[in-house]
Amino acid sequence: MKVYLSGEIHTDWRERIESGADGLGVTFSAPVTDHAASDDCGVAIMGPEDKKFWHDRKGASLNAIRTRMGIESADVVVVRFGDQYKQWNAAFDAGYAAALGKSLIILHGPDHAHALKEVDAAANAVCETPEQVVDCLRYVLTGKLPG
């Protein structure tokens, strides 16, 4: 199974899912999670820009190639909404995955339940912890319940 891990980059949720799924035969992919590298990839590769808009546009366009490939090749897309920042990109990724008919697991805390109700409604599962995501993956692959 191929799983794309989209969303916030400031906590260890990806590592918790990957280590919890060890032995299940899951291959994970993700966006570049080095914030500076992700922001500056376009100008680092294609040259500097005087205006921040074009600097960001180059990076976003280049990162979109990786994101599209990851989502399109995934069997399951997990999208994490963190507590701290407005993650428009995560919402876009969830919508893109849903439009492609991908199996979708949304991960966020209870404080986001109302704000993300439409995103949650499009998901196959909504989890509050990375461990619940692992339990979902294990169940899908093996039919086994936790514990």
Beta 103-107 vs 27-29: how paired, if at all? unpaired
Q: Which two tokens stand for residue 6?
A: 């989209």
Q: Where are the alpha helices (DSSP H) in the chain?
A: 13-20, 35-46, 52-73, 88-99, 117-122, 130-142
Render pLDDT for 67-124 as a digit per residue (tens, 0 to 9).
999 999 999 999 999 987 778 899 999 999 999 999 999 999 999 999 999 999 999 9
pTM of the model: 0.95
In CATH terms, the superfamily for domain 2-33+73-142 is Response regulator (3.40.50.2300)
- Per-residue confidence (pLDDT) for residue 84, from 0 to 100: 78
Q: Is 111 helix (H, G, I), strand (E, B) or coil?
A: helix
33-58 confidence digits (pLDDT tens): 999 999 999 999 999 999 999 999 99
- The reported pLDDT for the residue numbered 48 is 97
**Rounded mean pLDDT of the chain?**
96
Domain coordinates of the chain in residue numbers? Answer: 2-33+73-142
Report the pLDDT value the prediction gives residue 5, as an integer from 0 to 100: 98
